[in-house]
Structure 1
Amino acid sequence: MCGRFTRTTSPAALAETFAAAPPTEATPDGILAPGQPILILRFNPATGRRTLDPARWGLIPHWTREAVPAGKLFNARAETLAERPAFRDPFQRRRCLIPAEDFFERDDHPPRRLHRIAPRQGGLLALAGLWDNWRGPDGTWRRSATIITTEARDPVAALHPRMPVPLAPEDWPLWLGEIPAPAEALADLLRPRPRPELAARAETGPQHPLDLSPSSPPGPLGERADRTDTSADTRT
């Protein structure tokens, strides 16, 4: 699972990195938890542009009658995207990338230390995700998103059996739908891969008690971090 990740890179820097229009609304930065607004990268075929947009972390399927609690559907298993009703339509038509500097896992062995997983050479991760729009009883549209997970590879495999799917820049156009995306090619992107090379670092000291349960707030590690850088379809 992925229950926390960090984004401190400024929206302007993200827009430059992803060649996208910057967001029009402010969102939190630092360590983010399910239920909070995050930034997602989407491609709008009507305009031919990439955009960075806010979305609640925790998918709300467009067909549901009631909003899904924040502690559910914040992760989606890559192996069952085409089968589960909540993810089947977004997998076909509403894929996104979620920028992050790192994500967190807690190992399964005492004393169950918390680990921060990040690219060994630094820089950003572009995590594979899905998004959807849900219209509430009051008529208000709410955009939401989920992070896709796959079978973990080292170094995460030593801590947890699942991990988010990071995508390389050359894979972004296919995942975002900028070029034709056959189902088998999309599935291949979600299989465990050896890149980017990741490193896991155990967290110690007062930051250690970060609670990764989806219903809890970010906690001590979740305080605001210093910045590293200063259509017709209503579901687009």
Structure 2
Amino acid sequence: MLFTTEEKLLAAATSLIDAPEATIQAPEGTPPPRYNVAPTQMIAMMRLASPSEALLEPARWGLLPHWKKDISGPPLFNARAETVQEKPSFRDAFKTQRCVIPLDGYYEWKDKKPYFVRRVDGELLWAAGLWSTGLGQLSATMITTDAPEPMQDLHHRLPRFLQAEEARQWLIDDTTTAAQLLHPSGQELVAQLRISPADPAVGAVKNDYPELIGH
């Protein structure tokens, strides 16, 4: 996964909320630009502090539920849309702790070759997510769904990317309405995705530079 500068994030977040009275705060700043982000590392995420205030914050990529006693176990960096309302790891967060995760793009592997997925217009993608503060640490996970065509040719799962109006629904509305979004991203958004070869060096998380994403 890859994310961008704080300036671009704040501008995109303000546009996403699209309410004259709303404010976007980044009290701890956001993580610096990255070109190769792995689970358990810091990502940017946005959640609501109130109906008129959104927080753009750094969070551990890998949910730590409120009941978790230690850091053991695989990182919960993805949550399947099909089971997010029932699984103990995610159901409490789904009720009241939904967020959106901004990214410029993400990596996927096929036939041992890496690819980079981004929007053709260069705008940010917003993935539906959940947050929690287990073990005293802000953490987040990303919702995934079955991949619609033509993305199935790359991988059978896809982050649940949200259009602007869907992101507001995910953040603001009640659980019942948010649950209506637990389906694959619409074809209008999927059609905006571009897949291009990436540098195989992305397989080593220590590598973190712009050339990894290819062209």
Q: Please, what TM-score do these two structures have when normalized by structure 2? A: 0.84
- Find 2:205's aligned residue among 183, 199, 218: 218
State the partner residue of 1:41.
46
Is the counterpart of residue 81 in structure 1 residue 105 in structure 2?
A: no
Provide the C-alpha distance between the structure 2 equivalents of 1:195 and 1:133, rounded to a whole number of angstroms: 34
Q: Counterpart amino acid of 1:198? A: L
State the partner residue of 2:99.
96
Q: Counterpart amino acid of 1:50? A: A
State the partner residue of 1:188.
180
Provide the C-alpha distance between the structure 1 equivalents of 2:108 and 2:91, rounded to a whole number of angstroms: 27
The share of aligned pairs that are identical, in percent, is 33
CA RMSD across the alignment: 1.9
Q: Counterpart amino acid of 2:94? A: F
Q: CA deviation at 1:134?
A: 1.3
Q: Which has the higher contact order (CA 8 A, sep 6+)?
A: 1
Which ranges in structure 1 are unaligned for 5 or more consecutive residues?
136-140, 212-216, 227-236
Is the counterpart of residue 155 in structure 1 residue 150 in structure 2?
A: yes
Provide the C-alpha distance between the structure 1 equivalents of 2:56 and 2:118, rounded to a whole number of angstroms: 22
- Secondary structure of the equivalent of 2:134? strand
Deviation readout 1:107-141 (Å, 9 max, x if unpaired)? 1x4xx221111112221001111000013xxxxx2
Higher helix content, 1 or 2: 2
When residues 124 and 72 of structure 1 are mapped into structure 2, their CA distance, relative to the original with a 3 A threshold, is: same
Contact persistence 1:37–1:57 (CA under 8 A) = yes
Is the counterpart of residue 55 in structure 1 residue 59 in structure 2?
A: yes
Provide the C-alpha distance between the structure 1 equivalents of 2:40 and 2:75, rounded to a whole number of angstroms: 9
Structure 2 matches for 1:84-233, cutoff 5 A? 84-107=87-110, 109=111, 112-135=112-135, 141-177=136-172, 180-183=173-176, 185-192=177-184, 193-196=186-189, 197-203=192-198, 207-211=199-203, 218-220=205-207, 223-225=208-210
- Secondary structure of the equivalent of 1:61? coil
Contact persistence 1:155–1:199 (CA under 8 A) = no
Which ranges in structure 2 are unaligned for 5 or more consecutive residues?
15-23
Deviation readout 1:157-196 (Å, 9 max, x if unpaired)? 102110101101111221112xx3242x323323112132
Provide the C-alpha distance between the structure 2 equivalents of 1:150 and 1:113, rounded to a whole number of angstroms: 22
Contact persistence 1:155–1:198 (CA under 8 A) = no
- Secondary structure of the equivalent of 1:34? coil
Provide the C-alpha distance between the structure 2 equivalents of 1:33 and 1:82, rounded to a whole number of angstroms: 25
Q: Please, what TM-score do these two structures have when normalized by structure 1? A: 0.77
Contact persistence 1:56–1:143 (CA under 8 A) = yes
Contact persistence 2:127–2:142 (CA under 8 A) = yes
Q: Counterpart amino acid of 2:92? A: D
When residues 68 and 194 of structure 1 are mapped into structure 2, their CA distance, relative to the original with a 3 A threshold, is: farther
Provide the C-alpha distance between the structure 2 equivalents of 1:225 and 1:209, rounded to a whole number of angstroms: 11
Provide the C-alpha distance between the structure 2 equivalents of 1:146 and 1:50, rounded to a whole number of angstroms: 18
Q: Counterpart amino acid of 1:164? A: P
Structure 2 matches for 1:4-15, cutoff 5 A? 5-8=1-4, 10-15=5-10
Contact persistence 2:120–2:193 (CA under 8 A) = yes
